[in-house]
Amino acid sequence: MIPNPRFLAAAFALAFAASATAQPVVMRISHQVPPAHHMTKLLESFAADVKARTNGGVDVQLYGSEQLAKAAENFPQVARGTIEAAMSVNPQWGKTIPEMSATLIPYSMGDLERIKRFPKSEARKFLDAKLAERGVHSVAWLYITRQTIITSSKRPIVAIDDFKGVKIRGLNSMTDTGLAAAGAAPSAMAGSEVYQALQSGVLDAGLTDVSAAFSRKYFEVQKYGTVGPIYTIYFHMYVNPAWWTKLKPEYRQAIEAAAAKVESDAIGVTEATAEAAIRDLQTKGMAIHLQTPAEQAAWRAVMEPAVRDAFLKSAPEGGPKIIELLGKI
């Protein structure tokens, strides 16, 4: 029996209308940085790219400044499927995945060419596997900073001996071992609290990345800044595995392609942002000293062994392997 042509036409019209009105897949990304941060700009380009590659089939929605979840809650909420995706700073995994902090070993990942090779490295695959073991699927690693600034008010901190007796903002117990080895007295403190501590004299010196030093107006309470590639930090994107596997294959491919592009774009954007921050700090009157290779070697000789030992104690199983893999990049 030959179907009625009018019936076929009507059926095709209904199918087309249903397809046209189908709701896009929503991909909410929770993160902690404010709208002005350069990572937000990168994520906005990622969202637009995914939309274009999927013809509007995937709607990436960005929730910065901890709108959906506090930074520490991103992982459990993504693992449970409450949120589709999130961005975390790699050392935020702490004791959960201690291997993620390997890039905080001083000067170990400060070379830009190695940073460019990281996204396709065995080291990245190793860390992605660790994330999978903890119940999330890794999608992208966005290089966010390598230019650390040590600020001070009374005198510049240039030689390693300049650290002696200095009360300085630390990052965490692991990295603080390197500052202590240099003779400083580190005190871990949230970034939002540092300005007041520097202003009141609770701290003598600050430690952050150059962009944060400018945005938090350290130039108002600090005269000097020494900049070097001490700590390398990534924001990485991960998604709920169940949500990921339910996506159409072409949607997964589109997201992966957009992720690879934003990983590459992040390198140039981050470097340009750091250079602009240095100029801005100088414009505001801060005396900036860029570390020489000899100074980097002197600081590294004192700080790296202490931090490496602390890292290996925190990650006795996978620590040696990730150090080996990072060294091969």
Q: Tens digit of pLDDT for each residue in 281-316?
A: 999 999 999 999 999 999 999 999 999 999 999 999
Q: For residue 301, what are the CA distances in angstroms to 73, 130, 231, 298, 313?
A: 37, 30, 15, 5, 19
For the chain, percent helix, then strand, then coil, each to nearest 5?
55, 20, 30
pTM of the model: 0.89
Contact 151, 158 (CB under 8 A): no
pLDDT tens readout for residues 158-194: 999 999 999 999 999 999 999 999 999 999 888 889 9
As to burial, measured by CB atoms within 10 angstroms (0-12 exposed, 13-18 middle, 19+ buried), residue 133 is exposed
> Residue 101 and residue 61: Cα distance in Å, rounded?
28
136 and 241 in contact (C-beta within 8 Å)?
Answer: yes
- Dig out the tokens for 228 from the structure: 């070097």
pLDDT digits (tens, 9 = 90+) for 211-236: 999 999 999 999 999 999 999 999 99
